[in-house]
Structure formats: structure tokens, C-alpha cells
């Protein structure tokens, strides 16, 4: 091939690659496969290697090239990067809007463009004649650091603008961030190499952007969304912010698809509510939303006070992480004897509530965190998820910080505590001799998803155990013998006793699956209880099944089969079951005949966060009724993660594993057979 036709082909390839980058990063709608894209890139690399004189800085191959440097140069922003003032309440936003209308002397509602506020790093990028030439961090707003080589490695940053009509000089401003999925992947890889991991996506993004070696930066999954412009010369820009953002997008500069223009402060507040709902399913962290007066002429009229514009405000969400002091650790004994370390904290306001306890999960987690009593720790509370400790601020460790030690004996019954090989949990060996395990198993037996005895909660169970009325589940059905004594208890009159006894009575009629689940056999959750009931059809058949027979049930492996068989071999358990049946507990046998369509058969769901149109339990019932399964944790086998408002770490895990995430609407579609 001649040099001339090579030059033409090089241009063709660059055009094609730019086009596909645009479709992939800006439109989120690729038209070729990754493999096809790779082939175009390989061909371009080969041709450029043959013709080094044809390599230009805006070629798509020129993302990683610069050598590591020992420090960043300084860049003075031609137009300063302003700061944003914050609003923490609806009232703050109303005040902001009122002040703006007063200054503009108008009673008309103002049009605002609303944007998610990314929790990343603000940067300014400079394009000359449509070619990317420089990138700088915000710094103090006047001067930032030169991060050109690193920003060049961000795949969604166009090295040359698309379309036409861009100003000869254009500075664009945006936020560099890392998605949950990218963050999880990067941390996993770092952990595999035995390297330090980052605490959150923001720190990871900051650390990656400020890498002195652009090759390292290139390996980090950084992303960008643009939200405005700085200096510009030689060309016209739209006169409204919403239009400017659309224009940027046409030039290949990625903007957030959640951006919307609304009317008046009510529109802003509605946007805030919506984004708070959506926050979970976005796949990246936002810490609030930003409202900007849409018309630039009005922005100019409003001006700014000490670096913060009067025409924009950040409406923050309640912080999900705060620091506080770990005052002590208690060990709670659960239904199966597992000891859970619970952190006692100096009370702190986080995620919208005051938190004074947080889970530390197990001893492995304590070791991983390296946490000691007396430490200053970061507590995270996202939505309805149990607060947890995510980090230790080691710099603040006091001299007298103490190690957290696993007790050798159960704090409740004094039995030995053991830690089985390959298990994270340490357990009390007391079994039902242990008051905590007895209490927890009674609570479980009465709980809504088990025997559903309304009114028999924590407090009463504790009281009844103390009075000697309750030793095991069968005693529940003899509580009526103590009716007269019960009525004498404080705050417990004739009516409430009658109500409780009625609820106990009603619970006698149940299903085999619920009864099995209520027994509290270790590793037999609702799903396994249901499959067992369906497979065997009767309690006798399950009680008599040996381990090979149990293993024929889908999802029952050798470990669970052994637990089930052990449970029913235990004399004490058989006795309690006999007494329960004698007390009149009944269900219809032969649920195996159950009919009806099972469109969700073979699909496993994991629910996280709260749903609007139903409770998590209702969602669970509807999914199982259609043959689907609901699991408690995300794995490669999970078909879908359903993310409601404020989900937990399960969402990040789903993103990491590439498990599809459904929002509430999508779940409803599936349940209603529209999906």
C-alpha cells in the first residue's frame, strides 16, 4: 500500500473510532461489538507504527503516552471555577429561590436546570480548534494542577470534538468520578495483587486522577460528566443552560442523562425527591442535586457573592457517612448461636437518623478493619440498611486503644464459644440451653414470615421466659393456661390478652413450608423450606428422609442435608414437634400438587432498598408465587437484583458481578407478565 492510501486509511480509522466512542460513551448506544472496535484500534496502531510522522496528539491512540512526572504543573484558569453554596433543607431551597426572584424583581416562577451532583472531582478541559489540549483540577478555583496526561486516558473524553460550530477556544467543566462497578472491580484487582484498596469511589477517583504515572491512571476506570463551560472565544454558545448541555453532548462531551429543566421551586423539590429515589440505581455516587437558573441573561443579572453564584445551589442529601468514636463492643448471640460483634458508638447523626450501634459482622471483619476500642471510625448508614463501620481513622487512635477480643464463653449462658473451620462466625455451643438462642428461636417461630403470631414480640417473649411460661415453641400453645396471670401484668389488660390468645389460636392453621421454616433449622431459610415442602409433601416424609433422599431436593447439598437430618434426629426436637402437632397445628398436606403458571421458575432475585408500591415481604411472596426464588446475597447465580430506594452494598456487588439490576417499575412489569 502507498503512503498516501495509508494516510487516508488512518484518517478513516480515526473518524470511525471517534464515531464509535461517541456512540458508546455519549449516546450509550454502541453500534459495533467490543471486538470490532478493538480491530479498528489495532489496525490504526499498526499503521501509525509504520508512519510515526502521521501521528497527531488528537489521534485516538494517543491516550497513554506521557512519561511519569514527579509533580504536576500549575494551571491558572482563564475564567475562575466558582464554588457552589449548599442547601440542606427544603426551606433553604425556598429561601434561595425567593432571594433570586426578589433580585430579578419577578413574581413569575424561574426556570431551573436540575443536575445530579456527582461526588467526584471538578476539572476544566481546554479545547483549541476542537482538539483537546489541556486539563486542570479545580484547585482553589483560580489555579489548579495540570492533569492533562491523566485526563487524556479517560475513554469518554473526546480528544477531538464531534460535530461542528464549536468555538475556536472552548473550556468545558465537568466532574471526574468512578462508578460503583468500576470501583469494585479496581479494588478486587488491587486486593488480588496484595495492594492497598480504596475506601470509596470518590477517594479512588481522586487517587487515580492524581497519579503521577499516566499509565496507572489509564488502568483506572475513570469517567466524566460535563456540566458547564469556562472561557470561550470565536463562536457562539446557546443562551440557556439546558440548551448548552445539549450542545455539549452534540460535540461529543458526555452529559448526565438525568439532567432536566423544570419550572419554579416546586419543580426543583420534586426533582430532588425523584433523584433521592433513583440514587440507588444510578450506579455512581451523588451527594445531592444542583439547581441552576436556566437563562444565562438572568444568571448574569444575579451575579455572585465571594466566588459562589447567586444563580445556583447544591441541594444536598443527608450524609451517609460520619465519623464518631467506638466506645465498646458487645457480642450478641443469635438464634443459631452465632456471636455478632456490635459496636457501641458515641451517638452520631448519619443518613437522616441518630446512630449509636453498628454491626461489625464478625471477627474477620474486625481484623480486616484493624479497629480497636477507642478508635475514631467512619460509620455508614445507607437507607434502611443496618449501619456499619467502614473505616478506621488511624491518625486519631488514642494511646489507650484496646484490642477487641472474642469471648471464650458465651456472654449469655457461659457455654464454650467455638469457631468452626472455614466459617466466619463464632458460635455459642449452648444450643437451646442458652437463653439468647432460646429467645431468638422463639422470636423466629412467632415472626411474620414463620407462624405469624401477631403481638408476640421481643418484649413479651422475654417476659414469658422470665416468668417460666415459655421454654420452647410448644409452650406458646399453652399460654392460655396462664391467662389470669397474664392479665395482671402491667399494661396488659383483658383485651390484649384475648387478642394475643386469638392470634396464637389463628396461627395453628398454617402451611408446611411456614412450619418448617419456623422450626429454625440452621441453613433452612424460606426458600429451602418451600422446596422441601413441595418435594416431600408431608412432614413425616421429611422427618424420615435420610441424607441421600434430602440431597435429591434442588438446592440441598450435603451440608444442608446433614443439618436437616441432624435436626430431626435430635430427640428434644422430635418431642417439641410432637407437642406442637398435639396442640393442633395443621396444614393441608400434599402441597406438591400446587398448580398455576410459574413464569419466574429458575430465576433468583435479590432485593435491596425499599420499594414504594409494596413491602419487601410482599415482593418476596409475589416472586415466589410465580416460581422465582428470593435469595439474601448476590452471587454469579443471581438473575436480578431489585434495587429500591437507598439500597445497600448488594447493589454494588451486582454491578461488580454484572448481574442485571431492576428498578421497581421493571419488577412490576415482570410480576404482571409485561416484562
By CB under 6 A, name the binding residues for ligand D41.
Answer: 82-84, 115, 117-118, 122, 138, 175, 227-228, 290, 292, 309, 312
Q: How far apart are CA 13 and CA 11, in angstroms?
A: 5
Task: Kindly state the cell numbers that stand for 536.
Answer: 416431600
Minimum Å distance from CB 474 to ligand D41? 60
Q: Which residues pair with 389 in a beta bridge?
A: 379
User: Smaller CB distance to ligand D41: residue 198 or 311?
Assistant: 311
Q: Work out the number of other CB atoms within 10 angstroms of the CB of residue 554.
A: 10
- Strand pairing class (604-608; 388-392): unpaired
Minimum Å distance from CB 81 to ligand D41? 6
Minimum Å distance from CB 32 to ligand D41? 30
Q: How far apart are CA 187 and CA 551, in angstroms?
A: 37
The residue among 532, 587, 526, 588 whose CA lies nearest residue 564 is 532
DSSP 396: G
- Whether 559 is a known active-site residue: answer no
Q: How far apart are CA 460 and CA 480, in angstroms?
A: 14
Residues 257-289 as b/e (b if ≥16 CB within 10 A, e otherwise) read ebbbbbeebebbbebbeebbbebbbbebbbbbb
3-state secondary structure of 360: coil
Vertex 569: Cα angle to 566 and 575 (nearest 5): 125
The residue among 446, 451, 343 whose CA lies nearest residue 388 is 343
DSSP 326: E
Cβ–Cβ under 8 Å, residues 401 and 427: no
Minimum Å distance from CB 209 to ligand D41? 14
User: Smaller CB distance to ligand D41: residue 115 or 145?
Assistant: 115
Please name the residue that has the C-alpha cell 426464588. 629
Minimum Å distance from CB 109 to ligand D41? 20
Q: Which residues pair with 233 in a beta bridge?
A: 169
Minimum Å distance from CB 255 to ligand D41? 10
Q: Phi and psi dihedrals of 667, rounded to 5? A: -65, -45
User: Smaller CB distance to ligand D41: residue 226 or 469?
Assistant: 226
Minimum Å distance from CB 262 to ligand D41? 15
User: Smaller CB distance to ligand D41: residue 205 or 366?
Assistant: 205
| Non-local CB neighbours of 533 within 8 Å, separated by 6+ positions | 511, 512, 513, 516, 542, 591
Q: Phi and psi dihedrals of 409, rounded to 5? A: -125, 155
Minimum Å distance from CB 453 to ligand D41? 50
User: Smaller CB distance to ligand D41: residue 81 or 641?
Assistant: 81
**Sign, Cα dihedral of 352, 358, 364, 369:** positive
Minimum Å distance from CB 241 to ligand D41? 9
User: Smaller CB distance to ligand D41: residue 287 or 388?
Assistant: 287
Minimum Å distance from CB 317 to ligand D41? 13
Cβ–Cβ under 8 Å, residues 371 and 392: yes
Chain centre distance of CA 607: 11
DSSP 23: I
User: Smaller CB distance to ligand D41: residue 167 or 228?
Assistant: 228
**Kind and range of the H or E element at 666?**
helix 664-671
Q: How far apart are CA 45 and CA 500, in angstroms?
A: 77
Minimum Å distance from CB 437 to ligand D41? 49
DSSP string covering 224-285: EEEEEEEEEESS---SBHHHHHHHHHHTT----TT-EEEEHHHHHHHHHHHHHHHGGGGSS-
117, 292, 316, 439: the active-site residue: 117
**Sign, Cα dihedral of 180, 184, 190, 194:** positive
Q: Which residues pair with 640 in a beta bridge?
A: 605
Task: Kindly state the cell numbers that stand for 635.
Answer: 452471587
- Strand pairing class (640-643; 661-662): parallel
Task: Kindly state the cell numbers that stand for 470.
Answer: 415459655
- Which residues are part of the catalytic machinery? 117
Amino acid at each position: 500500500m502507498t503512503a498516501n492510501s495509508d494516510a487516508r486509511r488512518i484518517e478513516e480509522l480515526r473518524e470511525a473510532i471517534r464515531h464509535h466512542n461517541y456512540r458508546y460513551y455519549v449516546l450509550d448506544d454502541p453500534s459495533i461489538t467490543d471486538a470490532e472496535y478493538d480491530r479498528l484500534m489495532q489496525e490504526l496502531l499498526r499503521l501509525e507504527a509504520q508512519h510515526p510522522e502521521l501521528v497527531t496528539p488528537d489521534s485516538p491512540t494517543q491516550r497513554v503516552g506521557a512519561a511519569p512526572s514527579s509533580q504536576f504543573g500549575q494551571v491558572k484558569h482563564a475564567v475562575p471555577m466558582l464554588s457552589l453554596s449548599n442547601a440542606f433543607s427544603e426551606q433553604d431551597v425556598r429561601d434561595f429561590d425567593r432571594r433570586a426572584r426578589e433580585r430579578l424583581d419577578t413574581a413569575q416562577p424561574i426556570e431551573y436546570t436540575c443536575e445530579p451532583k456527582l461526588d467526584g472531582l471538578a476539572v476544566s478541559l481546554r479545547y483549541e480548534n476542537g482538539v483537546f489540549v489541556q486539563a486542570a483540577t479545580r484547585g482553589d478555583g483560580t489555579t489548579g494542577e495540570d492533569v492533562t496526561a491523566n485526563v487524556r486516558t479517560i475513554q469518554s473524553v473526546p480528544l477531538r470534538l464531534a460535530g461542528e460550530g464549536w468555538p475556536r477556544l472552548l473550556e468545558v467543566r465537568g466532574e471526574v468520578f468512578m462508578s460503583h462497578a468500576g470501583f469494585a472491580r479496581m479494588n478486587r484487582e488491587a486486593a488480588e495483587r496484595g495492594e492497598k484498596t480504596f475506601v470509596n469511589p470518590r477517594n479512588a477517583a481522586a487517587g487515580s486522577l492524581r497519579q503521577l504515572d499516566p499509565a496507572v491512571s489509564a488502568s483506572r476506570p475513570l469517567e466524566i460528566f460535563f456540566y458547564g463551560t469556562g472561557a470561550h472565544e470565536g463562536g457562539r454558545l446557546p443562551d440557556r443552560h439546558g440548551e448548552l448541555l445539549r450542545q455539549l453532548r452534540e460535540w461529543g462531551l458526555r452529559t448526565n442523562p438525568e439532567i432536566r429543566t423544570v419550572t419554579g421551586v416546586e419543580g426543583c423539590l420534586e426533582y430532588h425527591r425523584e433523584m433521592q429515589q433513583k440514587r440507588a440505581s444510578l450506579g455512581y455516587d451523588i451527594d445531592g442535586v444542583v439547581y441552576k437558573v436556566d437563562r444565562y441573561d438572568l444568571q448574569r443579572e444575579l451575579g455572585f457573592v465571594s466566588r459562589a453564584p447567586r444563580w445556583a445551589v447544591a441541594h444536598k442529601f443527608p450524609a451517609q457517612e460520619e465519623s464518631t468514636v467506638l466506645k465498646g463492643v458487645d457480642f450478641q448471640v443469635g438464634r443459631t448461636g452465632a456471636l455478632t460483634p456490635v459496636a457501641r458508638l458515641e451517638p452520631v447523626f448519619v443518613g437522616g437518623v441518630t446512630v449509636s450501634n453498628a454491626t461489625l459482622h464478625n471477627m474477620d471483619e474486625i481484623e480486616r478493619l484493624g479497629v480497636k476500642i477507642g478508635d475514631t471510625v467512619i460509620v455508614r448508614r445507607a437507607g434502611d440498611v443496618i449501619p456499619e463501620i467502614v473505616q478506621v481513622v488511624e491518625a486519631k487512635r488514642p494511646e489507650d486503644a484496646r484490642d477487641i477480643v472474642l469471648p471464650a464463653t458465651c456472654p449469655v449462658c457461659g457455654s464454650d464459644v467455638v469457631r468452626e473451620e472455614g466459617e466466619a462466625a463464632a458460635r455459642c455451643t449452648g444450643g437451646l440451653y442458652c437463653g439468647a438462642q432460646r429467645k431468638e428461636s422463639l422470636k423466629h417461630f412467632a415472626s411474620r414470615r414463620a407462624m405469624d403470631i401477631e403481638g408476640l414480640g421481643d418484649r413479651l417473649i422475654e417476659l414469658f421466659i422470665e416468668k417460666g411460661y415459655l421454654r420452647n415453641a410448644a409452650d406458646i400453645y399453652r399460654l392460655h393456661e396462664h391467662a389470669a396471670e397474664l392479665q395482671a401484668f402491667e399494661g396488659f389488660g383483658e383485651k390484649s390478652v384475648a387478642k394475643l390468645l386469638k392470634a396464637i389460636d389463628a396461627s395453628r392453621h398454617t402451611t408446611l413450608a411456614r412450619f418448617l421454616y419456623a422450626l429454625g433449622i440452621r441453613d433452612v431459610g424460606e426458600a429451602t423450606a418451600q422446596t422441601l415442602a413441595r418435594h416431600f409433601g408431608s412432614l413425616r416424609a421429611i422427618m424420615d428422609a435420610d441424607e441421600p433422599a434430602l440431597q435429591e431436593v434442588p438446592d440441598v447439598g450435603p451440608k444442608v442435608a446433614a443439618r436437616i437430618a441432624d435436626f430431626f434426629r435430635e430427640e428434644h426436637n422430635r418431642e417439641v414437634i410432637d407437642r406442637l402437632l398435639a396442640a393442633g397445628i395443621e396444614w393441608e398436606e400434599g402441597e406438591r400438587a400446587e398448580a398455576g403458571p410459574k413464569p419466574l421458575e429458575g430465576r433468583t432475585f435479590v432485593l435491596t432498598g425499599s420499594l414504594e408500591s409494596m413491602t419487601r415481604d410482599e415482593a418476596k411472596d409475589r416472586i415466589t408465587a410465580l416460581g422465582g426464588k428470593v435469595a439474601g446475597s448476590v452471587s454469579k447465580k443471581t438473575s436480578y437484583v431489585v434495587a429500591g430506594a437507598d439500597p445497600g452494598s448488594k447493589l454494588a456487588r451486582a454491578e461488580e458481578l454484572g448481574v442485571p439490576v431492576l428498578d421497581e417499575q421493571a419488577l412490576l412489569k415482570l410480576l404482571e407478565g409485561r416484562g
